[in-house]
Amino acid sequence: MGNKAWGHGNRKGLKKGRIEGAVSGLVVGILVTLLLLVLL
């Protein structure tokens, strides 16, 4: 269901998809940084 919705959103507009991708990338980066800080 999640993949379907994401694919549909991606098809709707490239700009929206790009923004969502950038945001998700930032979130992942922040999470990784937090994990590294906790581990170190």
Beta strands in the chain (DSSP E): none
Yes or no: say if 21 and 28 are a contact pair by the CB < 8 Å rule: no
Contact present, 29 and 36 (Cβ < 8 Å): no
Q: Which residues contact 24 (CB under 8 A, 6 or more apart)?
A: none
CA atoms within 13 A on the CB side of 10: 8
Q: Is the pLDDT of residue 3 over 60?
A: no
Residue 21 sits at the vertex; the CA angle it makes with 36 and 27, to the nearest 5 degrees, is 25
pLDDT tens string 6-25:
555 555 666 767 888 889 99
- pTM confidence score: 0.49
